[in-house]
Amino acid sequence: MNNDFRILYTQFTDTAQRAADLNFASAVLGWDQEVYMPAKGADARGRQLATLTTEAHKILTSEDYGRLLAALVTAAATSEATEDMLANIRLSTLDYEKNKKLPAAFIEELSLLTSQGFNAWVDARGKNDFSVFAPHLEKMVALKRRQAALYGYTTHPYDALLNEYERGANIAMLEPVFELIRKELPLILKKIKGSEQVSDACFKTNFPKENQWDFSIKVLQQMGFDFEAGRQDYSEHPFTTSFSSSDVRITTRVDEHNFASLLWSSIHEGGHGLYEQGLPESQYGLPLGEAASLGIHESQSRLWENCIGRSKEFWHYFYPILQQHFPDSLGNLPEHEFYKACNRIAPSLIRTEADEVTYHFHVLIRYELEKALIEGSLEVKDLRNAWNAAYTKYLGIAPPDDKTGVLQDVHWSHGMFGYFPTYTLGSFYAVQFFEKAKAEIEAFDEHTKSGTFAPLLDWLRTNIHRHGRKYTSEELCTRVTGGGLDPQLFLNYVNRKYGAIYPGQ
Amino acid sequence: MNNDFRILYTQFTDTAQRAADLNFASAVLGWDQEVYMPAKGADARGRQLATLTTEAHKILTSEDYGRLLAALVTAAATSEATEDMLANIRLSTLDYEKNKKLPAAFIEELSLLTSQGFNAWVDARGKNDFSVFAPHLEKMVALKRRQAALYGYTTHPYDALLNEYERGANIAMLEPVFELIRKELPLILKKIKGSEQVSDACFKTNFPKENQWDFSIKVLQQMGFDFEAGRQDYSEHPFTTSFSSSDVRITTRVDEHNFASLLWSSIHEGGHGLYEQGLPESQYGLPLGEAASLGIHESQSRLWENCIGRSKEFWHYFYPILQQHFPDSLGNLPEHEFYKACNRIAPSLIRTEADEVTYHFHVLIRYELEKALIEGSLEVKDLRNAWNAAYTKYLGIAPPDDKTGVLQDVHWSHGMFGYFPTYTLGSFYAVQFFEKAKAEIEAFDEHTKSGTFAPLLDWLRTNIHRHGRKYTSEELCTRVTGGGLDPQLFLNYVNRKYGAIYPGQ
């Protein structure tokens, strides 16, 4: 019987890993599409991605695979299956049941529309005109509503989509979080507005692109990113993707007259990249080889970007190095002024360049809008106006054009509805993990001050990365910190940190 | 009935193009592997490529696909199928019958060994030690012998492998060609040796890498390479690959102290790239959307590299531009001296950097050695010695190490046995096409002298590119030039051109 289990388990890993090979191939094609592909390659790339996705889906929804999983569940009951094996079987069975809900034709349609939608979004951005993208977005919203119906849900179609990125999350869990943002963050912002303002002009002088690149590589190396198992490239919209835990690609962008653009992108994606490199290689293509959720993924990027990358201790080590890279721009600026500039709080239009406080208004806006699109209370033709109204309401500024407004994010063109909330969840988890790591790692601040990040990376590897997708976000958070999501901890962190930078009048 | 045919033909293109999607995805992964992939990504990439190849092979060897092709052949007889449709059906049926001969397990084994073999070859080159690569090569030779047996052959196993790259070619056709090389080329070389020697020292001063890159882009643009449907990158071993005729990737390499390395690689691969961009897009994934053969492919690269790129007329236009790129190195060198340097004939060790005369000894050597490996008259353990002996025999020089000797080419690591002869066939076809184009295009030399290559490219598109794989090399050569392969024309061309540069004592 035990022997039977082993044979079945090998058949299972063979099948799952074959599908993973196809999905990782899709990831290579997707990476190339955004990093190096020439414009005219788009059509063929679209159909190639559609075929890869369809073939992987075929494998993972085949009756054979379903029977194999069912047989495994039975065989596991009387075998010496390890806890990890059981987790892989359990999660793959959940995935199978979910995948079975989407017909192959739907998958192909979604993949094709994603590719066309992405190209239309690029085109629309170039033309700074939402109406170029709108017809594609309309189709995408209709398709995502169908997807929600196919998955099924009890209270709200948005829950079904959310679950794709954050297993176990739903509107009922999110609403209190966003309610806190709606209520508490304006109070913090008000206090900041009443203080002496911080300037970030030092980021906006002249920063030769090559030196920016070199500095980012230096930071990533110091963080522990393994460049033999990954690389950094440029893309329009920074992202992280991986083709195994030994081949992790991050991207950044560069603006000669705004060093902040590359700096925070590189550290942020570097945090994602470290998580991918830390996933167990032995679990290639299996649930335990995958990230826990997008929220947990974002907790890693936000922890490195904000809790580490915007800390006094980090710049104690890196600022002299940075000054050597840009003696003309930063040679005469004191370290504490630069630290404050890194932490300037001010309402702005672009999410990816927002500070760690106002950032959550950007997420809130997207959450409210996409929820409305999915439930049908907002139509795509009204989206631009709704977007601009929301920015006026929450951030007090309206976008002057579509490029800095409703067209700024790639997500909806990719059909990613339900993704944005994970950014806020991730930021909140990040603070919880960070506080715990600080409490558990001896001389934490001293390590950061000397540019030594191995203790933190080890802690993250041990407590978070190595588990793969074994636990839900909430289970993992509870294992690591002793409790689930607690937005109050984020508020405390923000009050403490920014209370010092913006002490009020 | 006619209606039946249309339905069947659509089913056929859907299936063939789905397999093509997977194969093009393999090409993207292969391109990335040699251009950007970090070292540790190799293992996962190997299994991903194996899976893609296996899945494509499954589609193209399925019983369903076989029945579909058989039904198409029947339906086509009484329908209004176009000539192109009939050609696609005929060639796909031939492919199907050939593919059926290789079991899926064999394909997977070959793909895995290819990937491992490539990595071992890179490793061995780094260590400059053939013995690191030898165990992999032994396995590869055994596998290729099995492949030849699976394909079947009448006189020699090598014929079966050759046919993969050059449909219709065999040893019986190649032997007279190589016999001519063995007999006639030494006479030409002897005459050259008796003349005043040409120096290529001008290539070996200091050429800033960026300026080399810029010049190569300028040349490629002028040749007509469409950078919106392709790109150039760096790789260890220059190559061309494509993911559709609208996404063609060429690579080159650069040596600051040897401008010849980048120059000829870029023009050569540019010629391949123009062919790929000229294949009919409407035939995506079908035989008529594919190159005729490797020999014809090489005829395009060699035509641009040698007949155009090493011509007086080409440099009449480009030399002043080149001088502007490198005023320090070339500012004082007269044009005719540079032209002669481009055409220096001298025995050397590296095939890809050889001149257009001695080049064919390099091919001859590989042809003799790989034929011997496949027939079993030479063992891998004796290959290094045999290689060095052959270089001494034909070129009068022995490699000082493995890197410049038996480890210089990637081909065998990729399992490409039977590929090398296409280089010589291609060079010979190139001269035949070139002479015909010159005869048919008005003011040909004047166009070249003014950097105008559109007439030549149009001629190549019309006479060669647009046909895809419709004709065999020999059929195509006969259609275009009025006769099949005629090595004597190559000898005449070489005698004429080099008789002027090396007039004898």
Order of strands across the sheet that contains B240-244: B230-234, B247-252, B240-244
Out of A18, A40, A243, whose CB is closest to B44? A243
Helix or strand holding residue A230 (H, E): strand A230-234
Task: Return the residue of B nearest to A55 by Cα.
Answer: B55
**Active-site residue, from A55, A164, A269, A276:** A269
Q: What average pLDDT score do residues A142-165 get?
A: 96
Q: Which of B28, B38, B47 sits opposite A228 (nearest CB)?
A: B38
Backbone angles phi, psi at A81, to 5 degrees: -60, 135
Q: Which pLDDT belongs to residue A132?
A: 97
Q: Looking at per-residue confidence, does A2 or A146 come out higher?
A: A146
CA A252 to each of CA A8, A266, A325: distance values in angstroms, whole numbers, following the listed order: 43, 6, 18
B111 to chain A, minimum CA–CA distance in Å? 14
Residue of B nearest to A230 (CA): B38
Write down the mean pLDDT value for chain B: 95
B188-217 confidence digits (pLDDT tens): 999 999 999 999 999 999 999 999 999 999
Chain A residue numbers touching B24 (CB-CB < 8 A): 44, 48
User: Quick one: A21 exposed, middle or buried, by C-beta within 10 A (0-12, 13-18, 19+)?
Assistant: buried
Q: What's the pLDDT at B505? A: 65
Instruction: Indicate yes or no: CB of B44 within 8 angstroms of CB of A247.
Output: yes
Which of B40, B225, B244 is the best mutation test for A, with the most CBs of A within 10 A?
B40
All residues of chain A having their beta carbon less than 8 Å from the beta carbon of residue B48 are: 21, 24-25, 28, 243
Quick check: A24 and B44 CB within 8 A? yes
pLDDT the model gives residue B78: 79
Closest CA to B324 of B215, B453, B223: B215
d(CA A213, CA A262): 8
Tell which residue, B356, B345, B383, B349, has the closest CA to residue B502.
Answer: B345
Domain parsing of chain B, residue ranges: 2-100, 171-501
Interchain CB distance below 8 Å, B25 and A21 = no
Q: Write out pLDDT tens, residues A377-408.
A: 999 999 999 999 999 999 999 999 999 999 99
Q: Specify the DSSP class assigned to residue A306.
A: I
Q: Do A40 and B247 touch (CB under 8 A)?
A: yes
Q: Examine the pLDDT at A480 and tell me if it is beyond 50.
A: yes
In B152-292, which ranges are continuous DSSP H helix? 157-165, 171-193, 209-223, 259-278
- Judge contact between A363 and A420, C-beta under 8 A: yes
Helix, strand and coil in chain B, % to nearest 5: 70, 5, 25
- What residues of chain A lie within 8 A of the CB of B115, using their CB? none
Q: Chain A 94-153, CB below 8 Å of chain B: which residues?
A: none
Mutate to test the interface with B, among A51, A227, A233 (most CBs of B within 10 A): A51
B62 CB within 8 Å of a chain A CB: no
Q: Is the dihedral of CA B154, B157, B163, B169 positive or negative?
A: negative
Respond yes or no: is residue B269 known to be catalytic: yes
> What confidence score (pLDDT) does residue A1 get?
44
A chain contacts of residue B26, beta-carbon cutoff 8 Å: 25
Measuring CA to CA, how many Å separate A100 from each of A67, A150, A162, A263, B469?
13, 10, 18, 42, 41
pLDDT of residue B353: 85
Find the CB nearest A28 among B22, B29, B51: B29
Of A94-98, B74-78, B151-155, B374-378, least confident by mean pLDDT is B74-78
Nearest to A246 among B25, B40, B226 (CB): B40
On the question of pLDDT at B390 being above 50, the answer is yes
Element containing residue A23 per DSSP (H, E): helix A2-35
**Burial, A210: exposed, middle or buried (Cβ in 10 Å; 0-12, 13-18, 19+)?**
exposed
User: What's the mean pLDDT in B486-501?
Assistant: 95
**Quick one: which H or E segment has residue A447?**
helix A444-449
pLDDT value, residue B4: 87
- Check CB contact of A43 with chain B, cutoff 8 Å: yes
Q: Positive or negative, the Cα torsion across A124, A129, A130, A131?
A: negative
Q: Mean of the pLDDT values across residues B376-387?
A: 98
| Contact yes or no for A284 and B44 at CB 8 A | yes
The answer to whether residue A466 scores a pLDDT higher than 90 is yes
The pLDDT of residue B1: 44
What percent of chain A stands above pLDDT 70? 99
Q: Do A47 and B21 touch (CB under 8 A)?
A: yes
Pairwise CB contact (< 8 Å): A41 & B17: no
Report whether pLDDT(B170) > 90.
yes
Q: Do A32 and B28 touch (CB under 8 A)?
A: yes
Q: Give me the interface pTM, i.e. the ipTM.
A: 0.92
When pLDDT is cut at 50, 70 and 90, the band that residue B108 belongs to is confident
- Judged by DSSP in three states, A311 sits in coil
Q: What is the DSSP string of A27-61?
A: HHHHHHHHHT--GGGHHHHHHHHHHHHHHHHHHHT
Q: What is the DSSP letter of A282?
A: G
CA separation, residue B67 to residues B17, B73, B97, B286, B471 (Å)? 17, 10, 12, 18, 25
Closest residue in chain A to residue B36, using alpha carbons only: A231
In tens, the pLDDT along A29-66 reads: 999 999 999 999 999 999 999 999 999 999 999 999 99
A16: closest CA of chain B, how far (Å) = 12
pLDDT per residue as tens digits for the range B406-440: 999 999 999 999 999 999 999 999 999 999 999 99
Answer yes or no: do A43 and B246 touch at CB < 8 A.
Answer: yes
Nearest-angstrom CA–CA distance, B385 and A326: 56
Q: Would you call A45 and B228 a contact, using CB atoms and an 8 Å cutoff?
A: no
Q: Best mutation site among B51, B59, B233, B248 for testing chain A: the one with the most A CBs within 10 Å?
A: B51
Which of A366, A346, A354, A345 is closest to A409 using CA atoms?
Answer: A366
Closest by CA to B373, choosing from B406, B408, B350, is B406
Q: Answer yes or no: do A28 and B32 touch at CB < 8 A.
A: yes
**Residue A200 confidence (pLDDT):** 94
Question: Closest chain A residue to B19 measured between Cα atoms?
Answer: A51
Instruction: Tell whether A233 lies on the interface with B, counting CB pairs under 8 A.
Output: yes
Q: Which residues of B touch A40 (CB under 8 A)?
A: 226, 228-229, 246-247
Nearest to B36 among A41, A227, A231 (CB): A231
Q: What is the bridge-based pairing of β-strands A230-234 and A247-252? A: parallel
pLDDT of the residue at A353? 85
Read off the pLDDT of each residue in B484-496 and give the average, rounded to a whole number. Answer: 95
Most B-contacting residue of A18, A33, A40 (CB-CB within 10 A), to test interface:
A40
Contacts of the segment B117-126: beta carbons below 8 A, 24+ positions apart: B117/B412, B117/B413, B117/B414, B117/B415, B118/B33, B118/B410, B118/B413, B118/B414, B119/B42, B119/B46, B120/B413, B121/B407, B121/B410, B121/B412, B121/B413, B122/B236, B124/B402, B124/B407, B125/B402, B125/B403, B125/B407
User: In chain B, pLDDT over 70 holds for what percent of residues?
Assistant: 99
Q: Which pLDDT does position A373 carry in this prediction?
A: 98
| Alpha-carbon gap, residue B16 to B283, rounded angstroms | 11
Check CB contact of A83 with chain B, cutoff 8 Å: no
**Interchain CB contacts (distance < 8 Å): A and B:** 112
Whole-angstrom Cα distance, residue B28 to residue A22?
Answer: 13
Q: Which two tokens stand for residue A262?
A: 């590359």
Distances (CA, A) of B193 to A36, A51, B344: 47, 58, 11
Average confidence (pLDDT) over B101-119: 88
CB A383 within 8 A of CB A369: yes
| Chain A residues near residue B50 by CB distance under 8 angstroms | 21
pLDDT at A2 over 60: no
The catalytic position among B166, B269, B356, B474 is: B269
For residue B228, list chain A residues with Cβ-Cβ distance below 8 A.
38-40
Residue B50: closest C-alpha in chain A: A21
CATH topology of domain B171-501: Neurolysin; domain 3 (1.10.1370)
Binding-face residues of B in 5-34 toward A, CB within 8 A? 17-18, 21-22, 24-26, 28-29, 32
Instruction: Provide the shortest C-alpha distance from residue B226 to chain A (in Å).
Output: 10
- Cβ-based contacts of A24 with chain B (< 8 Å): 44, 48
d(CA B178, CA A191): 86
Q: Which of B17, B24, B51 sits opposite A22 (nearest CB)?
A: B51
- pLDDT tens digits along A246-268: 999 999 999 999 999 999 999 99
